[in-house]
Amino acid sequence: MSHWIESFTRQFGIGVPLSLIRIVVKQYLSDLADGVPARIKDMPTGQPNLVRLREMGLLPGTRVHIVRRNVLGDPLEVAVRGSFLSVRKSDASQIEVELT
Amino acid sequence: MNSKRPDEMSTRDLTIALVGNPNAGKTTIFNALTGLRQKVGNYPGITVERKAGTFFSQHGEKLTLIDLPGTYSLSARSPDEAVTRDALMSHSAQLDHPDLVILVLDASNLARHLYLATQVIELRMPCILALNMMDVARNAGIVIDNEKLESLLGVPVVLMDASRNQGMTELKIGISRVLNQGNPAKEYESPQHMALPSQIGTLLDQRIPEAEKLGLCQSGNGILRLLYLVSHHDSEHFGFNPEQLSFVRQVKNELTALEAGWEDRLVSNRYDWIETIVEKTVRRGEVISDSAVTTDRIDRWLLHPVLGWMILAGMLFSMFFLIFSFAQIPMGMIESLMSWLRDQVVNLMPAGDLRDLLTDGVLSGMEGIVIFLPQILILFFFISIMEETGYMARVAFLMDRLMGRVGLNGKSFVPLLSSYACAVPGVMAARTIENPKDRLITILVAPLASCSARLPVYLLMIAAMVPEEQMSIWVKVGLMFLMYFLGTFGAFAFAWIFRHFLAKGQASPMLLELPPYRMPRWKSVGLFLWERAQIFIRRAGTIILGLTILMWAATTWPKFPESQSGNPPTDAQKLEYSLAGRLGKIIEPVVSPLGYDWKIGIGLLTSFAAREVFVSTMAVIYSVEESDDEAITRKQVRDKLAMETRDGTPDGPPLYTPLVCLGIMVFYVFAMQCLSTVAVVKRETGGWKWPIFQIVYMTATAYVMALLVFQIGRALGFS
């Protein structure tokens, strides 16, 4: 999302820096480029799928990165607490992250 | 009650349960302790059946050990996870109630594994913490203060490396210590339990009397049991009666009304508490372990966007190639062994009904089944290697998106792949799928995968189509491929239909752990194959053999009356006069639009018990016709089929034309003809509704497809 906005603004010669966009636009786990370390900022509550992800250690504050993704971008292989989980994009797109 | 001494126990042996996350090494410890070797899988949730064994403690007491299904949490998500939850919360008089729990944890990933461990410790059962995979942890520079951990959690901690047999003695000493000294976990009071938000605790407390009345919990750990029952996400809770189910739903709604994110809160609280423990006991090195590096290196190839798929396709191709080529060698050996046996019987016994029963009934029937044991074993060998190494989880990762398109998920791939060997283990493997709708759809379409029982039918029909010399191997392989494609396509098409009309909604997300790769343990692969072979032979020896004998009797009696004219009756007359002949005549109108005669009709009828019976039925029918002949081999059955004509005269039009053979094959692709599968589907879905639905939809499809093949083919001028 942020990258998209950055390139979009650059087309109009404005060139808003990426770091500035990131402050305004929320970043989600599914947006992360492979291998970029991040920290989970927030995730919605009351959703059964996400409860199991929490139980497996994906919680606000946890450090994560995406190892790789399947062709078509789904599912994602996520590294968390020393193990590797396959997470669907639809779940990952609800998990808000911040870069570390 | 918790500090039972062996001398107080007269009714049963003390029971010890292994509990832990998938891939924590439970099964390895189970094997090491009991010596009763069994499957060590790498795919999450491979331990879906109850596995028990016995071993002796340091003092020589006999103990029962149960390997409970792996789970990440007591809030169960699937039937196999519920098995673990229910065993742990069962009443102390019940069969599987453990007197001691061995919690198996992966030391290299302590925080996540402590999640389940602290849940179990809170149940106040006698526990031992087995920190497994210490070698991996050390390799990654992780140092664990086990004495501190012991004092913080109040349970004995044993350091282990089960795959190298290290720590077994310490574990046994720990077991004896806890069994004899009672339950140290009694003194443990977790802040987590106290931090159960007061409103939630109060509400659960209020509901306990009703829960007890409904038989959902017993006194003791009532509040926690109720909590875990309510947080079970399976909307069709297994084993609940309607009142219990509506009660559980009601409490869940009340909790959600109280606080929408109550479950998330509980998880966060628990992890907060675990992190304080980990901070005090674990020193993390920032080293990446060797196995993680190797795994990543392998995954770069196996999960590569392009190469990954090519490797998977290559694997499946070589698997089927081996099944159809290499298996011929042992199959030939079985064939000659059986015909040798038959010769022995013929030489030793006087001619008569008994000899005919042995040669034409028992031996012909057995051969038709045992002959494709090699093919089944090759298939199971591949599946077992994929599970052992951890590749199976990668296959699920690769397939997830594709399966999602038709309304399945990546975890459906394993049940479907297993179903190419046999639908029975395939249907059982569906237990690892969390979402009940996904599980149901997987079970419903699994028998459409062309299982190995269809192979002999395909092989016989392909052989009967045209004389062997006139068909190149590529046409045969192509036909075979077409049948497998049809079955696979049918499974996907019906999954899509069911997803849209029967179990509406999105396919559930797949949560899957990708475990580190490891070398397969050849011993457990071998034992797994041995187990499968036994199951298969037992099946051949019971159901199928029984049916074959029944078939033989039905084709022999009642005997054609001795004619007055003195001409001995022809074989065809004898068969027509027999019970089977009469039955076949009755159903002939139903099957004649498909181009079949009454003999094929009998074959179809008998193979509703098991598909492969078709071949042995044909063997029995045609060897009965020429009962003067001895030693009927498969080849001869094939030749007889080729000689068979539509009107029964030697010069009439052939009955087994390529079109009819193709029609029979297509029928077998879709038809539900397997008693064992029906039985297992009934067990797994909890009633007759779904197995009956399955029989109806599959057999109707089979009939329509075979009708289309024959009628369209004939209209186009094929014969």
CB contact under 8 A, A88 and B400: yes
Arithmetic mean of pLDDT over chain B: 79
> Measured between CB atoms, which of B111, B296, B305 is closest to A81?
B111
Cα B447 to the chain's mean position, in Å? 12
pTM: 0.77
Average pLDDT over every residue of B174-196: 67
Average pLDDT over every residue of A20-41: 86
Query: Does B350 score more than 60 pLDDT?
Result: yes
Tell me phi and psi for residue A68, to 5 degrees: -165, 170
| Top mean-pLDDT range of B125-129, B137-141, B549-553 | B125-129
β-bridge pairing B157-159 and B512-513: unpaired
Rg over CA atoms, chain A: 14
Report the phi/psi class of residue B505: left, alpha or beta, with left for phi > 0 and alpha for psi in -120 to 50: left
DSSP class of residue B109 equals G
Q: Of B498, B402, B404, which is closest to residue B444 (Cα–Cα)? A: B498
% of chain B residues with pLDDT over 70: 81
Query: Does B719 score more than 50 pLDDT?
Result: yes
Sign of CA dihedral B384, B390, B391, B394: positive
Query: Does B10 score more than 80 pLDDT?
Result: no
pLDDT at B459: 80
Query: Does B39 score more than 50 pLDDT?
Result: no
Give B251-295 pLDDT, tens digit per residue. Answer: 888 888 888 888 888 898 889 889 999 999 998 776 677 778 899
Q: Of B680, B601, B611, B599, which is closest to residue B644 (Cα–Cα)? A: B599
Query: Does B43 score more than 70 pLDDT?
Result: no
Query: Does B491 score more than 80 pLDDT?
Result: yes
Give B52-65 pLDDT, tens digit per residue. Answer: 788 888 888 888 88
Tell me phi and psi for residue B278, to 5 degrees: -60, -40
pLDDT at A66: 94
Output the six-digit token pair for B287.
């080293």
In contact, B87 and B17? CB cutoff 8 Å: yes
β-bridge pairing B127-132 and B14-20: unpaired
Closest alpha carbon within chain B to A59: B268
A contact test, residue of B511, B513, B514, B517 with most A CBs within 10 A: B511
B129 CB-contact burial (10 Å; exposed 0-12 / middle 13-18 / buried 19+): buried
In contact, B345 and B359? CB cutoff 8 Å: yes
Q: Of B604, B570, B569, which is closest to residue B584 (Cα–Cα)? A: B604
pLDDT at B42: 35
pLDDT at B102: 95
pLDDT at B1: 37
Give B533-590 pLDDT, tens digit per residue. Answer: 776 677 667 766 777 777 778 877 777 776 555 666 666 667 778 888 888 888 888 8
Model confidence at B87, pLDDT cuts 50, 70, 90, reads confident
> CA torsion B463→B465→B467→B471, rounded to 10°?
-80
Query: Does B630 score more than 50 pLDDT?
Result: no
Give B142-164 pLDDT, tens digit per residue. Answer: 899 989 998 888 889 999 998 88
In contact, B417 and B383? CB cutoff 8 Å: yes
pLDDT at B8: 43
Q: Of B524, B422, B405, B403, which is closest to residue B46 (Cα–Cα)? A: B524
| Of the listed ranges A12-16, B45-49, B372-376, the one predicted with least confidence | B45-49
In contact, B368 and B612? CB cutoff 8 Å: yes
* Longest CA–CA separation in chain A, Å: 46
Cβ neighbours for B489, distance < 8 A, ≥ 6 positions apart: none
- A25 interfaces chain B, CB cutoff of 8 Å: no
% of chain B residues with pLDDT over 90: 15
Angle between helices B613-625 and B634-643 (to 10 degrees): 70
Give B198-212 pLDDT, tens digit per residue. Answer: 778 888 888 888 888
B617 CB-contact burial (10 Å; exposed 0-12 / middle 13-18 / buried 19+): buried
Tell me phi and psi for residue B563, to 5 degrees: -80, 150
Distance separating alpha carbons of residues B670 and B673, to the nearest angstrom: 9
Query: Does B296 score more than 80 pLDDT?
Result: yes
In terms of pLDDT, which residue wins out, B220 or B396? B396
Model ipTM value = 0.84
| Of the listed ranges B18-22, B89-93, B419-423, the one predicted with least confidence | B89-93
CB contact under 8 A, A86 and B265: no
Model confidence at B238, pLDDT cuts 50, 70, 90, reads low
Model confidence at B388, pLDDT cuts 50, 70, 90, reads confident
A contact test, residue of B115, B433, B514 with most A CBs within 10 A: B514
Distance separating alpha carbons of residues B398 and B303, to the nearest angstrom: 7
pLDDT at B218: 66
pLDDT at B9: 43
Spell out which residues of chain A touch residue B509, defining contact as CB-CB under 8 Å: 49, 87-88, 90-91
Measured between its terminal Cα atoms, the distance across chain B in Å is: 77
CB contact under 8 A, B271 and A57: yes
Give A53-92 pLDDT, tens digit per residue. Answer: 899 999 999 999 999 998 878 889 999 988 899 998 888 9
